[in-house]
Structure 1
């Protein structure tokens, strides 16, 4: 039993050498941070262009809300539901165009993410 404790203690001390642990952690951490940076870049790009995309989609489907946006959250949900129905059922080509534009925006970022091989471990 004492030999196991001594072996574990020596193993722990060997792992705690600063240079070895820093090298192992920093390379992995750096890789994951680069992957996370690419994901946040994609999210920021989508957020930046979301208002413009919704505005263009609204113009394309010729959406005129039947109720005003003032008031409760339920009214907002109703307007969003009406907008979604009109975009999906009446003018699906506008929705496809919006998604195609979005994919075109993040395609370079996806290529960068794939080149980093973030999920290959």
Structure 2
């Protein structure tokens, strides 16, 4: 019988404090959701500009692939390897330029992320 009374008493205390608990949880959740929104904006921006960046990199490296429409996945992997090897070893300045452009593209988003202080908890 005492166990039931204690359970009711603790339940009553929990419902009295629920508003405060919910306010704390919702403000923290709102903060983390804003941080997550900034991260997803950065990811979307990178995905949106990835095709253009690869095209500019291939032009800078002067990579001319010979792709058949019926190529296998191994052929595409080999082609990607040749492209990466040419970009890294033959023209590394093109790769550095691509990364510099990428950093310049997401710099405002990084500033917004830093202003939210997402990792400063």
- TMscore range, shorter length: 0.7 to 0.9
* CA deviation map 1:16-46 (0-9, x unaligned): 4432122011100000000000000000000
2:80 aligned with 1:117, yes or no? no
Any gaps of 5 or more consecutive residues in structure 1?
none
Divergent runs of 4+, >4 A: 8-13
Once the two structures are superposed, the pairs formed by residues 66-77 of structure 1 within 5 Å of their partners are 66=66, 68=68, 70-77=70-77
- Taking a change above 3 Å as real, the CA distance of residues 24 and 59 of structure 1, as seen in their structure-2 partners, is same
In 2, Cα distance between the equivalents of 1:48 and 1:74? 26
1:88 and 2:73 matched: no
Give TM-score, length-normalised by structure 1.
0.86
Question: What TM-score, normalized to structure 2?
Answer: 0.86
Q: How many residues align?
A: 118
Q: Tell me: higher relative CO, structure 1 or 2? Use CA pairs within 8 A at least 6 residues apart.
A: 2
Q: Paired residue for 2:27?
A: 27
* CA RMSD in angstroms, aligned pairs only: 2.0
The CA deviation string for residues 63-107 of structure 1, in whole angstroms up to 9 with x for no partner, is: 012553632110110000000000000000000000000000000
Q: Secondary structure at the match of 2:29?
A: helix
